[in-house]
A and B are shown apart, each in its own frame.
Chain A
Amino acid sequence: MFFYLPMAFFLLFLLFPFYWMVITSIRPDSELYRPWNAINYNPFWTTRPTWEHVRGLLLETLFTTWMWNTMFIALMSTAISLVCGVFAGYALSRLSFPFAGGLGTGIFITYLVPQTLLFIPLAEIIRNYNLGDTPWALILTYPTFLIPFCTWLMMGYFKAVPKELEECARIDGASRWQAMLYIIIPVAIPGILSAGIFAFTLSWNEFIYALVFLSSPDQKTVPVGVTSDLIRGDVFFWGQLMAGALLGSIPVAIAYSFFVEHYVAGLTGSVKG
């Protein structure tokens, strides 16, 4: 069957790690740490599921704090980036002014600058403004890679809105600003949602800046916290690590599931635009 077999292979390949995360999170330690060639060993199922890893994760580590931090940072960065991105996208796609093309390209170029180059000079800036070890260090730096994305996405959406709509509003006496605010933007709501969910997932995914600018355990984000605090001494606490990986993925997965269509539209929109 040329369809079902490859499809099954893809689904297995793409989704097995998640199953593995789930299974590892609920297996007791005695079952987890058995070498790959041990006899009588079935890694894919457990008859004695346990909540001890999840409980340990939630009660003994600062995991919940990290979740709050990451959520806060992600929402704030997304908000800032959306505002900037919508405005910039509108300006670049529907207004004519000198250097429009150059600015658009300039925004694109910023996407190419590697984070590993920026983080040391950025650390200095963070230090000068006393933002080190606070969520604001990230809330202000995440938009640097979120805004370009949001801008392109919105440009694509705005381009698709017919000019007549705006002209009608202007004839009605609205200023350009009012036209933008009350007519065009509401029409581009799907685009805004797409950009928003995209920015949200990208914020959760960021690692380097969080690794370098945050230090105190109660300021960390989920990716940094899971990487640094769940490996103790000789032991990788795999049970808790996988539970952490799973729980850490859930907010993003949930947000995504509500906006799947928008996410996909955003993905393809950015690619087509």
Chain B
Amino acid sequence: MAVAAVSTALGDAPPPRRRRLLEDERWLALALLLPTMVLLGLFIAYPFVRGILLSVTDSRVGVSGSFVGLENYYRIWNDGIFRTAVYNTFLYTGVTTVFKLALGLWLAMLLNRNFRGKAFTRAFILLPFIIPTVLSTFAWKWMFDPTFSVLNWVLYRLGAITGRINWLGDPDLAMISIMVVNIWRGVPFFAISLLAGLQTISPELNEAAAIDGAKPWQRFWYVTWPLLLPVTMVVMLFSVIQTFADFQIVYVMTGGGPANATHLFATYAYQIGVGTGLLSQGAAISLAMFPILFLIVVVQLLYIRRVEVR
């Protein structure tokens, strides 16, 4: 091979080459990372700092304000709608994550078998996750429409209801409706990721457990689940980050209504900041999201690390 020829040609002088190597590496790394750092610095870091500054002034649209310290935070803390939005976001994230995990896991286990049309099915079920959220949410909004809902039609025909179900008009039902859409979108993501995780678990482990007399649920709990945990935690991490900052689903389905019952952090920040033009208060609401999210992420990361070590 050419290797031998070249190496004799170059002769051996490891030390100088190693030094060049090191410098090479650092410059190369810098060059490679430069575009990313410029883009992220200019369009995330810098605006982030300005956002923080914005939240401690009293700016409104077209009027740059003056420094007011933590007044915006105090104001939003005393805002009933903000508190509702905080509660909603936690509830929304918590409930949907539990369902997405449960249903996703179930679907993953179903898909883990071999059956005809498996590749086809696997491709199709990812569709809810692929399609732009706004577009598919409109389809759901149409399905939940107060006057023309197809769901009401079905339930009515089945004799389950006599009066109309006000999916988007009743505060509690509206929350349930947006959760349904979020779960619908998220289950495929969980399912496919968990499926990949399941596929790395050797079937012999399960068989061995079965031979030892373990029942199906015991096999799951003691064999499958622990091996699946790393993947599960990472998937949950991504999902929680996304869901916590969710905007599109609520914006399209309810706009935060009825009567502010379905506002999340992001939609309320948008309504106050862009709708009413109170930019500083909107920034404060958005920033309030960040530490909580950070905390959740740190907790999950620590958990993942612990699980991986084990």
Could you tell me which A residues sit within 8 Å of B by CB distance? 3, 6-7, 10-11, 13-15, 17-18, 20-21, 24, 32-37, 41, 43-44, 80, 83-85, 87-88, 90-92, 95-98, 100, 103, 107, 110-118, 120-122, 124-125, 140-141, 143-144, 147, 151, 168, 171-173, 175-177, 180, 201, 204-205, 207-208, 212, 222-223, 226-227, 238, 241-242, 244-246, 248-249, 252-253, 256-257, 260, 263-264, 267-268, 270-272
Contacts and interface: CB of A to CB of B under 8 A. Distances in A.
B217 to A, nearest CB: 13
6 contacts: A18-B136, A34-B148, A121-B48, A140-B43, A238-B148, A242-B142
Given A110-B40, A173-B10, A17 B184 contact: yes
A21 B231 contact: no
A240 B153 CA distance: 22
Contacts of A176: 21, 24-25, 28
Given A84-B39, A143-B39, A264-B122, A116 B266 contact: yes
Contacts of B256: none
Given A33-B148, A117-B286, A91 B32 contact: yes
B139 interface: yes
Given A7-B121, A171-B7, 16 more contacts: A6-B106, A14-B184, A24-B139, A114-B269, A116-B270, A116-B282, A118-B48, A120-B279, A125-B46, A143-B43, A242-B139, A244-B135, A253-B130, A256-B126, A264-B196, A272-B231
B92 interface: no
B153 A116 contact: no
A245 B164 contact: no
A67 to B, nearest CB: 12
**What's the dominant secondary structure at chain B's contact region?**
helix
Q: When A and B form their complex, which 3 residue pairs have the shortest distance between CB atoms, in order from nearest?
A: A268-B196, A117-B286, A121-B47
A272 B196 contact: yes
Given A36-B152, A36-B153, A264-B122, A10 B110 contact: yes
Interface string B65-80: 0000000000000000
A38 B196 CA distance: 46
Given A112-B241, A227-B134, A20 B150 contact: yes
Contacts of B252: 227
